[in-house]
Structure 1
Amino acid sequence: MFHRETKFLAKQLDSSGKLIPVYSINDQEHFKPLCLVQGKEKDFFWKSERYYRTEFKISDVLVPGHYNKNLDVQDAGSVRVEHTVDGSVEGNINFENVEVKGLAKMSQERSINMKKTFVSVQVLESLQRERKINMEHSFITQLKNQRRNLYVIHEAVHASEETTFKDSNRLEGSIIAQIYVKLHGARNSKRDLTIPKDCVLAFRVMPLIIEDGSWNPVYVPTKKTKTFARDGVSEEGIGDPQKEVEQKCEVLTALSADLSAKFFNCIKTAIKNINLLQELVLELEWALDNPDAYQVKTENPDLRDLLQCLPGTTTVLFLDLAGAILYVAHALDELTEDQLLLVYESMERKILPPQLELVKNILKQDFHQNNGAFHLDAKLLSSLKEEQLNITKAMIEISGVMFQIDGPFLNGIGNPDDSSALAALYVVLCILHLLTKSK
């Protein structure tokens, strides 16, 4: 629930995606200004780079020296966010003179005072001139060997006071409500999340380039910006989304019948419970970073049943299998909780093939033209009954694409800013369809 709330707040405060939500409340202390975060190479066509906590601040990895100026973190003032949705009530958010509106399908109460802290660019530049990176530092050495990128946090959004978010599930008569009741057996449910004072909710980063001890913050990064030089390393990615999925999941399609069943049970469990999904992501990330020392931590029987197969395998198989499972989990984690429920129901109703074909065709459209409007052949969905069509529309609309059938045409409209969300949905549908066929 914490990650869902931080994603919501980050998107409302900055729709460009440069304000990054904190993933886990347990790690929030490591995402304050001047903290260092690492990023793994982006190798998915649909996913932006993920940022991981480290135990260090920028000053910890510099060569000792005399720097007279204080590394002051400044306060940029506070802002109050009120967002209440109950029936037709909407909440307005005002942040840095930009007003946005929030929408939701559940009864929610969000009221939070936040403050922004930052470290000035001038301070970073002055520090960069005075002190070099300690290239012998064990963290820097490991980072370079593992081809990780390094970033310094220069801005963070904190909770100004202890805050409780209330979430009441009252979706009488909606498709998502019916699916929720089917899976969880309760029509009305309430969840509360208490955010402690000064908790970091989101942050901005600046990539660093390091060479021979010199380091430079990058103000206008590109996709080719790397912390360390790549000697003779190709940076070409995978061009075909379907081929990427097939390549990443090849090891999963070759599983034994017993392991395949365990994998499906694990994925179904994670889809139905977003907290378990996030637990699966964190455990697999730790496993890949520590393959020789990995031990299963989760207590969930379905997750444990699958993950217990990892220890004892060869290193190559361990990395391939854990990496493939994490690829699937990362794709699922990009979807909203409502989308996951709709995906689960689509899987149960065996309507993934037409959904996959539709999303594939939508992704081919250029949303920068014609104000995002596009036209497709309505035959793409001719095999779906009314209720199946409603499930499909609801699932795709959450990714920012609206459409309706008008005679022989499927008329829709999309937003370029939402293309990554639609791409993640495509990956999920493609993976589940691929694995269902191999099963």
Structure 2
Amino acid sequence: MPSMFERTTKKLVKEIGDQKLRPVRFWESATKIRQFSLIRRKKARSWFWQLPDDPLDVSLMHILEPGSSVPDSAVEVPALFSDTMVRKQQAAGSVNAGAEVGFSGETTVCRGSSLEYQIVSTPHETWKKLQERKLLDPEPAFLKQCREAGVNLYVVTDTVELLNSPVLQDLSSGTSRENSPSLGIFGQGGGLKMSEKKLTVPKGSVLAYRRKQLVFYSREWEILYIADDDDQETFPAVMYNRQALAGHMDPATPRKDFKKLEEEVSQMVKAAELSKGMRGAVFSNLLAMLGHREALQDLMDKLEQEPFGHLEGPGGTILTELRKDSGYPEVGSKSLLLYLLEALMVLSDSQHDLLAQSMEKRILVPQRDLVRNILEPNFNCFQNIPFTLQPELLAPLQGEGLVITYELLDECGLKMELNSPRSTWDPEAQEPLSALYGALSVLTQLAEA
């Protein structure tokens, strides 16, 4: 399932009922996004997932000529949203995963939040007055970099802002009875497991926002009020070659199915020319970076520069090794690394931590096989349907490894039950599961070093 924060913002947006509002996914972004903030959106190298919005520390006001003060924004009446959920699950059955295991138990999950918020919107008259201002001359270095990178830029037009500082809570407890420790989630013979998560969200944080695409023509600019995502380019003069970006793909969007995803990953791996030393360096230094989303984003940005930019720490080590491995920035090794980083950016912060544990425990191969087994038959299923995990795929994932794997899948949106191989497919899980499969597949290749 999504993180505690993302789950709350999605529920709030659903309650408000505005389909153009975008829930903020990561709580770190909640204090960066403001009215008139600029959002960067890159096109992914994969056909199977989209990169999340990247809020920048730059405002529209930073790139426009100074002018008179901006008219006050319209503020809607403050509102209150409270959400409490208590769910009980019971499970009973047996699994043959190397040894016959019987289980029974009950899990209780409690979640709650109370949000006071207001919606801050920008009247049309404000945009008319702002568009009388021209872009700064000379062109800001920030815009030049975005133009050269071929990214699209958006401006935040409306925000949903917190008026209080709520504490998000997630409490779960469970009891289990087992006749074998083979899948010992709660320990041999049964027992009680309790976990509690809390997150305090600062007052003034933005939980959701609307955005509109920007388009620049020399020193003129405009907002696309009705265009869908990426219908146009922010910098129309730039000839943006989707085929070059994607590497092996032709410009026509392929019919999406799991076989095509497998082919995409396979071709990315085959096109790379990573030495054993390079694979080991990337694996160990990425392990050190997981859990630091900004560090991963910085590495992506430096990799896309020609020549590569400079970084300190683990990211800098990866860049140094990549320079040693090849003198050509377009080689497959760079594309593969960017492909992996983009897949990781789709995943949640919790999944980054779980992947780091998986890398340390060397359970990437059985995890990849399990994800393949889930995706392949359900890829184009658009209904919530039950499915059963194959016992032979669960067998290599004992004890803590199984818990980590279930949590990885749970974070993708599958309704996992810790003591049961049964689950429910959710069509919204297709994209994060595809990204997880891509990440696990590439990490598996790196781990061979």
Would you call these one fold, judging by a TM-score over 0.5? Answer: yes
| 1:331 maps to which of 343, 360, 368 | 343
Give the Cα–Cα distance (whole angstroms) in 1 for the partners of residues 173 and 416 of structure 2: 26
| 2:265 maps to which of 238, 242, 245 | 245
Judged with a 3 Å threshold, the aligned counterparts in structure 2 of structure 1 residues 350 and 227 are, in CA distance, closer, same or farther, namely closer
Which residue matches 1:60?
62
Give the Cα–Cα distance (whole angstroms) in 2 for the partners of residues 88 and 372 of structure 1: 19
Which residue matches 1:198?
204
CA contact (8 A) 1:116 1:156 kept: yes
Judged with a 3 Å threshold, the aligned counterparts in structure 2 of structure 1 residues 170 and 135 are, in CA distance, closer, same or farther, namely farther
Judged with a 3 Å threshold, the aligned counterparts in structure 2 of structure 1 residues 54 and 233 are, in CA distance, closer, same or farther, namely closer
> If the length of structure 2 is used for normalisation, what is the TM-score?
0.67
- 3-state SS of 2:153 partner: strand
CA contact (8 A) 1:209 1:227 kept: yes
Judged with a 3 Å threshold, the aligned counterparts in structure 2 of structure 1 residues 309 and 221 are, in CA distance, closer, same or farther, namely closer
Could you tell me which amino acid in structure 2 is paired with residue 156 of structure 1? T
After TM superposition, give the deviation of residue 194 of structure 1 in Å: 2.9
The C-alpha deviation readout for 1:174-212, integer Å capped at 9, x for no partner, is: 99x96799xxxx966655433222122332211112224
Which residue matches 2:116?
113
> Paired residues, what number?
390
* Unaligned ranges ≥5, structure 1: 90-103, 298-303, 405-409
The C-alpha deviation readout for 1:13-43, integer Å capped at 9, x for no partner, is: 3366851416463x64541111222222333
Give the Cα–Cα distance (whole angstroms) in 2 for the partners of residues 163 and 36 of structure 1: 26
CA contact (8 A) 1:38 1:149 kept: yes
Judged with a 3 Å threshold, the aligned counterparts in structure 2 of structure 1 residues 259 and 364 are, in CA distance, closer, same or farther, namely same
The C-alpha deviation readout for 1:238-272, integer Å capped at 9, x for no partner, is: 4543343345556877232x55345444555667x
CA contact (8 A) 1:281 1:326 kept: no
CA contact (8 A) 1:288 1:323 kept: no
Which residue matches 1:131?
133
The C-alpha deviation readout for 1:290-314, integer Å capped at 9, x for no partner, is: 77663325xxxxxx4x753434753
CA contact (8 A) 1:80 1:113 kept: yes
Counterpart check, 1:428 vs 2:439:
yes
Counterpart check, 1:348 vs 2:363:
yes
After TM superposition, give the deviation of residue 423 of structure 1 in Å: 2.2
Give 1:246-395 correspondences, 5 Å limit.
246=266, 248-249=268-269, 254-256=274-276, 258-266=277-285, 276-278=291-293, 280-285=295-300, 287-288=302-303, 294-297=310-313, 304=314, 307-311=316-320, 314=323, 316=328, 324-325=336-337, 327-336=339-348, 337=350, 341=354, 344=358, 348=363, 350-352=365-367, 354-362=369-377, 364-367=379-382, 371=383, 381=390, 383-384=392-393
CA contact (8 A) 1:36 1:53 kept: yes
After TM superposition, give the deviation of residue 215 of structure 1 in Å: 2.4
Give the Cα–Cα distance (whole angstroms) in 2 for the partners of residues 180 and 324 of structure 1: 39
Percentage of identical aligned residues? 17
After TM superposition, give the deviation of residue 425 of structure 1 in Å: 2.8
> If the length of structure 1 is used for normalisation, what is the TM-score?
0.68
| 1:399 maps to which of 399, 408, 412 | 412
Judged with a 3 Å threshold, the aligned counterparts in structure 2 of structure 1 residues 296 and 17 are, in CA distance, closer, same or farther, namely farther
* Higher RCO (C-alpha under 8 Å, 6+ residues apart): 2
CA contact (8 A) 1:355 1:429 kept: no
